[in-house]
Chains A and B, each alone.
Chain A
Amino acid sequence: MPYRNPEIETMDPKDLRQMQSEKLVKLVKYVYDRSPFYKKRFDEFGVKPEDIKSIDDLGKLPFTMKQDLRDTYPNGMFCVKNTDVVRYHASSGTTGKPTVVGYTQNDLDLWAESLARGMTAVGLSEDDIIQVSYGYGLFTGGLGVHYGSEKIGATTLPASSGNTERQITLMKDLDVTAICCTPSYFSYLIEAAEQMDCSIKNKTKLRVGIFGAEPWSESLRKRIEERSGIKAYDVFGTSELSGPLFIECEMQEGMHIWSDMFLFEILDPETNEPVPDGTVGELVVTTLMKEALPLVRYRVGDLASLETAVCKCGRTHPRLMRLKGRSDDMVIVRGINVFPGQVEYVLVKFPEVSPHFMIVIDREGELDNMAVQVELADMASDKLDDYYKLKSGIQHELKSILNLHADVEFVAPGTIPRSEGKAKRVIDKRQY
């Protein structure tokens, strides 16, 4: 099994922790000296850089929130001069202002290196042709993966998002072997390719998919792999940390978090105390090597669990298990937390429907109503009763997963909007 950096990737966990410890001490001093934001935050919290002597003191540090990035818009948290910033990206703000992130040349190299390790771990190399179907531009997905692909010496096809027919034509004609995009867009590509009589499974050379930017389930992985004949890997990252960063290895048992670059904690959202391995909690990340926009104990807003046991692939770095959803993707219906990923998990069990869906929440009087619009796929019957049975079957499964009744509404194939970036899964019509 190939490693890109065997020395680091298989380093003894104790040595890794020691390395993290040293880098953390330096980081704390670095941000305190360079960022007025962090100086103020640490002072208010009553912590001085010299109080942090090792990784064991991590819990003494204050958190950084997404709101801090918004409050210091556009670059109030940066730790380098503007002239040292070689790239900006920005994520769309749902509440007005975007969040701006910046990179030094070293930051860009580090980002690409992180992805290059992951791409190597799924068996990609200079012999591969990688189609990057994440959007290019301010969104970090496209350019991030692009540089990772170049770093391993692969041939990069910067397809960006959109123009689905051309994507499929190029995939076939250029013998593309790997693709990076959102899992929902890839599901759409599978369908569209079949309609063009260019089945991805039978008529292309595609063998690897790296899918992220939205939470997806194990059962969707199975379905994608069966329908397209490729191996599908999860990738995690977010623009505040750079962009897409960590990919699963060939074992498909979690995304390797490079501990020499990042320090991950999973905390109980109520107590802020670390949870044991395998327990879902809130993801908190400290960047150990970033220069332009380092983050200390950043609350990413994702719910996930970590596995620290050494992986079967030999890599000693901890693994981030499949995300359970973003805390901000979550909707609360009748006081119950609902993640779109849970709905997807249910739907992929029913071959009669497609994995494309939309949750519609409305309010009647004081009561929330949740409906799930579901697209029919391999379902055709002349009898209403067959539709009723399917509907109540799905409703029953939803109820057992969500602990909440949701009305299933069937819609015609192809009518749920296909997104080329992150899929929009929720329409909330409630007025407060």
Chain B
Amino acid sequence: MTKTIKQISLFSENKPGRLAKIADVLGKENINIRAFTIAESGDFGIVRLVVDHPDQAHDVLKREGFTVSETDVVGIEINDEPGSMKDVAELFAEGNINIDYAYAFIGRNQKAVLIVRVSDLESALSFLKTKGVSLLEINDLL
């Protein structure tokens, strides 16, 4: 099975206190956030999270009345040095993989982690596999 990461996405009204509420729900459930980003659009936004226990996070957020979904995204580990982003980006171009959105953070051991949401996950994964790219799963980020 090919490795992917389950991302949690939440609808949130663009109002003070919404993020605090989300964080409070996750904190009380002892869920640790590994990566986090907000896409804003006027009166609302989408909060995207990578957490250590995505299924549990999804269930508790749903129970608390949030509009929440789980999406498979691609996690790629790259070297934390100039030029490594270029290598990955060129690889995506070569494989004709369109990126819906992406974000990155600094991992451990001089490595960076790139999270990519692609429209055609299956073909992206098989292409990256043939190129020998090492894909991450959530256990690699704990």
Contact = CB atoms under 8 A, between A and B. Distances in A.
B65 A412 contact: yes
A384 B67 CA distance: 13
A379 B9 contact: no
A1 interface: no
A165 interface: no
B69 interface: yes
Contact of A376 (B11, B100, B101): B11
Nearest to B47: A382
Given A384-B39, A387-B41, A410-B43, A379 B67 contact: yes
A412 B41 contact: no
A413 B39 CA distance: 19
B9 to A, nearest CB: 3
Interface of chain B: mostly helix, strand, loop or mixed:
strand
B43 A409 contact: yes
Nearest to B42: A409
Contacts of B101: 383
Contacts of B11: 376, 379-380, 387, 410, 412
Interface in A373-387: 376, 379-384, 387
Interface residues on B, range: 20 to 34
B46 A384 contact: yes
Contacts of B69: 380-382
B71 interface: yes
Nearest to A379: B67
Given A410-B11, A410-B43, A411-B13, A380 B65 contact: no
B103 interface: no
Main secondary structure of the interface of A (DSSP, over half): loop
Contacts of B48: 382
Contacts of A381: 9, 46, 69
Nearest to B68: A380
Interface in B95-128: 100-101, 117
B44 A410 contact: yes
Contacts of A415: 13
B81 to A, nearest CB: 30
A414 interface: yes
Interface string A386-426: 01100000000000000000000111111100000000000
B21 to A, nearest CB: 10
B12 interface: yes
A381 B67 CA distance: 8
With a 10 A CB-CB cut-off, give which of B7, B67, B69, B101 has the most chain A CB atoms.
Answer: B67
A9 to B, nearest CB: 47
Q: Which of A376, A380, A388 has the most CB of B within 10 A?
A: A380
Nearest to A373: B43
Contacts of B44: 387, 409-410
Nearest to A411: B13
A395 to B, nearest CB: 14
Kindly name the residue among A383, A388, A413 whose own CB sees the greatest number of chain B CB atoms within 10 A. Answer: A383
A208 B117 CA distance: 48
A384 B9 CA distance: 11
B45 to A, nearest CB: 8
Interface of A: 376, 379-384, 387-388, 409-415
Interface of B: 7, 9, 11-13, 39, 41, 43-44, 46, 48, 65-69, 71, 100-101, 117
